[in-house]
Amino acid sequence: MPLMLDSPSVATSATSSNAPLDPREERRRLHHDADIVIVGAGIFGCAIAVAMGKQGRSVLLLERSLKTPDRIVGELLQPGGVRALRELGLGECLEDIDAVVCKGYEVSYYGEPVHIPYPQNADGTRPEGRSFHHGQFVQKLRVAAMRCLNVTVVETTAVDLIKDNYVGQVLGVECSTGGKKDYFFGSLTIIADGYASKFRKENIPHNPVVRSKFWGLELIDTVLPCPFHGHVVLSDGPPILIYQIGTRETRILIDIPENCASASVKNGGVKGHMQNFVLPSLPESVRPSFKAALEEGKLRSMPNSYLPPSTARIPGMIILGDAMNMRHPLTGGGMTVAFNDALLLSQLLSPEQVPSFDNTKAVLKQMKTFHWRRKNLTSIINILAMALYSLFAADDAHLRTLQNGCFRYFQLGGIRVSEPSGLLAGIIRNPLVLVYHFFTVALYAIWLRICAASLFMKPVELVNGIGVFWKAVMVIGPYILSELRA
């Protein structure tokens, strides 16, 4: 029987139908009690539910709406995310959703393109990403969770934590199911309720910072200059992202920073920005479908947040996914972070490592290891996204110098393309490679200006270069520091 997620009553029947009687399943269904309670059946929640269910843990996965999500987020999965998804045994979630292969990027700078393919694997093949409709992919993940015998999925909204106030331990969550109060208990509660997390405020020492929004449109039958590649369009304004999400559908995401002049009320707001700035800067072949989509007017927006990572400290509870750590979606790294985190967490909290989650001390100890070990990959994705966004949304002279240097650096080819694209892809897992390329770009940017200057102006450019270099330090420094904190 196919699992029809959009029908309301599947949640409980899906897990119990053909399964032999399992007392733990009954405990979950009747007593709302499990080893783990997970809040949010999104990208991270589904992945960790399946991973832990397969390890033999009893899992309750709570989701406020099991309907197909209709969002403009999480549509391009980098190769490093595809790999983690496969290692989680969830590779088939990418099948039958009309997913499109992604082989790398094309960056266009004032109309001049540079090709940035993902770097070759050791065996000569090339890694591939996938892009798709977010909702269809999430439904696949949810079905995979429902099929897992040790996981029970329940449609309910978490409203509060249940705490033992005496020892400060989290025992589960209070929920609202169809307006009625409901309680779910677990030795461990994992919060994965996404970017607008309800539980972040009291439990995490940082607040998300939003510098810009992505405005999204769906284009139909667009011809991309470089098929099977993500496109980044750079010119005088903030960056634009274009990638296919289905055989006929293409997503365009337009970054609009707060206080963006071309999107001011005087200039016709967001629509004005689209008409006067975006349309002329797009590749010729994309303009007709962009115009059509603009006329249809289904513009939607999402905040682009930055939230540095933090260590879990509260006994009985872990916060992960976007609820704990976010970076600008320019580089499409969020889901790659989520799947790699799920993989690492399931290894560190495996029954061999931590036989029972009741041992909250052992869990917290493993979480410390988790916090540092995940950084091999996630610090790269976090820093790269934020630093690249600063360059691509350049709003002062020094940043524009760095932006130009970055593009010219890519044009040099060789490892100047393959290593940055390996970092972006989530394949290269050494943060020093990122730091190396970032500062080489800065020096190259300064060098280009000195070369271009007249003899008289060369000393001036040299001095100016100090300013550019300092800017580069200020762009990347804070993000590096935030990764070094516990």
Does residue 157 belong to the site contacting ligand FAD (CB under 6 A)? yes
Q: How far is the CB of 88 from ligand NAG (least distance, A)?
A: 12
Does residue 74 belong to the site contacting ligand FAD (CB under 6 A)? yes
What is the total residue count of the chain? 486
Q: Which of 38, 48, 192, 442 binds ligand FAD (CB under 6 A)?
A: 192
Contact between residue 42 and residue 137 where contact means Cβ atoms under 8 Å apart? no
Q: Where does this chain bind ligand NAG (CB under 6 A)? A: 53-54, 56, 148-150
Binding track, positions 212-251, relative to ligand FAD; x by CB under 6 A: --x-------------------------------------
Task: Specify the DSSP element, H or E, that contains 109.
Answer: strand 104-109
Q: Which of 35, 193, 419, 461 binds ligand FAD (CB under 6 A)?
A: 193
| Nearer of residues 158 and 393 to ligand FAD, judged by Cβ | 158
| Nearer of residues 87 and 128 to ligand NAG, judged by Cβ | 87
DSSP state string for 120-141? PPTTS----EEE--HHHHHHHH
Q: How far is the CB of 486 from ligand FAD (least distance, A)?
A: 22
Contact between residue 292 and residue 218 where contact means Cβ atoms under 8 Å apart? no
Q: How far is the CB of 9 from ligand FAD (least distance, A)?
A: 18
What is the C-alpha to C-alpha distance for residues 451 and 462, in angstroms, rounded to an integer? 10
Could you tell which of ligand FAD, ligand NAG, none binds residue 150, using a CB distance below 5 to 8 A set by kind?
A: ligand NAG
Could you tell which of ligand NAG, ligand FAD, none binds residue 65, using a CB distance below 5 to 8 A set by kind?
A: ligand FAD
Q: How far is the CB of 142 from ligand NAG (least distance, A)?
A: 16
| Nearer of residues 336 and 378 to ligand FAD, judged by Cβ | 336
Does residue 40 belong to the site contacting ligand FAD (CB under 6 A)? yes
Neighbouring C-alpha atoms within 13 Å toward the C-beta of 365? 7
What is the C-alpha to C-alpha distance for residues 342 and 340, in angstroms, rounded to an integer? 5
Could you tell which of ligand FAD, ligand NAG, none binds residue 53, using a CB distance below 5 to 8 A set by kind?
A: ligand NAG
Does residue 41 belong to the site contacting ligand FAD (CB under 6 A)? yes
Instruction: Tell me phi and psi for residue 201, to 5 degrees.
Output: -50, -50
Q: Is 427 helix (H, G, I), strand (E, B) or coil?
A: coil
Residues 43-72 that bind ligand FAD (CB under 6 A): 43-45, 62-65, 72
Does residue 333 belong to the site contacting ligand FAD (CB under 6 A)? yes
Contact between residue 59 and residue 187 where contact means Cβ atoms under 8 Å apart? no
Q: How far is the CB of 135 from ligand FAD (least distance, A)?
A: 10
List of residues 6+ apart from 415 with CB closer than 8 A = none
| Nearer of residues 76 and 282 to ligand FAD, judged by Cβ | 76
What is the C-alpha to C-alpha distance for residues 417 and 394, in angstroms, rounded to an integer? 21
Does residue 76 belong to the site contacting ligand FAD (CB under 6 A)? yes
Q: How far is the CB of 452 from ligand FAD (least distance, A)?
A: 36
- Comparing CA positions, the residue from 240, 368, 383 lying closest to residue 325 is 383
| Nearer of residues 44 and 444 to ligand FAD, judged by Cβ | 44
Could you tell which of ligand NAG, ligand FAD, none binds residue 198, using a CB distance below 5 to 8 A set by kind?
A: ligand FAD
300-325 as b/e, with b when 16 or more CB fall inside 10 Å? eebebbbbbbbebebbbbbbbbbbbb
User: How many CB atoms are located within 10 Å of the residue 473 CB?
Assistant: 13
| Nearer of residues 158 and 442 to ligand FAD, judged by Cβ | 158
What is the C-alpha to C-alpha distance for residues 339 and 345, in angstroms, rounded to an integer? 10
| Nearer of residues 65 and 120 to ligand FAD, judged by Cβ | 65
What is the C-alpha to C-alpha distance for residues 328 and 441, in angstroms, rounded to an integer? 20
What is the C-alpha to C-alpha distance for residues 229 and 404, in angstroms, rounded to an integer? 22
Cα–Cα distances (Å) from 286 to 10, 63, 216, 243, 255, in that order, read: 41, 37, 15, 11, 17
The residue ranges of DSSP E strands in 286-345, in sequence order, are 300-306, 317-319
Q: How far is the CB of 188 from ligand NAG (least distance, A)?
A: 16
Q: How far is the CB of 140 from ligand NAG (least distance, A)?
A: 17
| Nearer of residues 317 and 441 to ligand FAD, judged by Cβ | 317
Structure tokens at 50: 């399946």
Sign of CA dihedral 65, 66, 70, 71: positive
Q: Which stretch binds ligand FAD (CB under 6 A): 4-12, 41-49, 101-109, 268-276?
A: 41-49
Residues in contact with ligand FAD by CB under 6 A are: 39-45, 62-65, 72-77, 157-158, 192-194, 198, 214, 302, 304, 321-323, 329, 332-336, 338
